[in-house]
Amino acid sequence: MTTLVFAEHDGKQLAPATRHAVTAAARLGEVHILVAGKAVRHIAEAAARISGVSRVLLAEAEHYEHLLAEETAPLLVSLAKPYRYLAAAASGFGKNTMPRAAALLDCPQVSDLTDVVDANTFVRPIYAGNVLATVRSDADKLVLTVRASAFDAAADHNDTPAEIHTVPAAPAQQLSRFVRRELTVSERPELTQARVVVSGGRGLGSAEQFDALITPLADSLGAAIGASRAAVDAEYAPNDYQVGQTGKIVAPDVYIAVGISGAIQHLAGMQGSKTVVAINKDPDAPIFAAADYALVGDLFEIVPQLTAAIKQIS
């Protein structure tokens, strides 16, 4: 059985999450990748070098430039016939596009899967990650979205790249139009791909304290910065810092939670972290149940001391 993975990109390079989706898809059999866009052959060439990919489909058209879901979902449907599975990373891109394709194909979707048991059986989190559900579908066709943090990224191979096949574009739907994209530009690692994440919560008390304590600690570690939903709602940090069920899912080597109580929705976004360090003055805070290292005390004293100690040895 063959899976068609829809590649996410920004017009310049392939999104790292796509490599994680390829790893999941490879457990189901042969893997093909679809690259859609405007003048994106260089991205198709990068996809062709990913280990486990046997074919790349390239669809280029003006109306695919910004990968609007209203335009790309019909493209997926037009290419779906020979595939048992259509897959993408469970990012904003995948969550926007794949349900539309599933609806047009009138087939089931398994969302945010974290494990592949067999050709018909998958594991996905429910109840904010408190329960892992094993789901089975014998449908002839399935749409899948893959939690990137649950799978390793597929590496490049040194063999001959996969063949690139140009496929015809679907007719333009003209149901939506791209207006603008506002992005936060940062020299820090991208939050979902960082090896170390330092996150702040409502316990920091203000946006000024968030910046004064979290930023130096993150700088000393070369880390990405995250935040709890409570901190984002209080405007201590921007929306794209939010870690949790309604934010970004992360699984770094080290996750440092500062002043975060550990609400269920936050734990759902970081529970895949390999090592969790929690700093909180409340010894009964739920975050400590998920922590490998617990520092109980005043974060306004602990964090500066920790930052200073790291700078001395780095």
Q: Is 228 annotated as a binding residue?
A: yes
Q: Is 18 annotated as a binding residue?
A: no
Q: For 139, phi and psi rounded to 5 degrees? A: -60, 150
Q: Is 193 annotated as a binding residue?
A: no
Q: Is 229 annotated as a binding residue?
A: yes
Question: Residues with Cβ < 8 Å from 248, sequence gap 6 or more?
Answer: 191, 192, 226, 240, 242, 269
Q: Is 280 annotated as a binding residue?
A: yes
Q: Is 199 annotated as a binding residue?
A: no
Q: Is 261 annotated as a binding residue?
A: yes
Q: Is 263 annotated as a binding residue?
A: yes
Q: Is 186 annotated as a binding residue?
A: no
Cα–Cα distances in angstroms (integers) from residue 69 to residues 76, 95, 107, 125, in the given order: 10, 10, 17, 25
Parallel/antiparallel/unpaired status of strands 293-296 and 115-118: unpaired
Q: Is 312 annotated as a binding residue?
A: no
Distance of alpha carbon 144 from its chain centroid, rounded? 14
Q: Is 243 annotated as a binding residue?
A: yes
Cβ burial 279-290 (10 Å sphere, 16+ → b, else e): bbeeeebbbbeb
Q: Is 100 annotated as a binding residue?
A: no
Q: Is 272 annotated as a binding residue?
A: no
Q: Is 203 annotated as a binding residue?
A: no
Q: Is 56 annotated as a binding residue?
A: no
Show binding-site residues: 202, 228-229, 242-246, 259-266, 280
Annotated binding site for FAD: 202, 228-229, 242-246, 259-266, 280
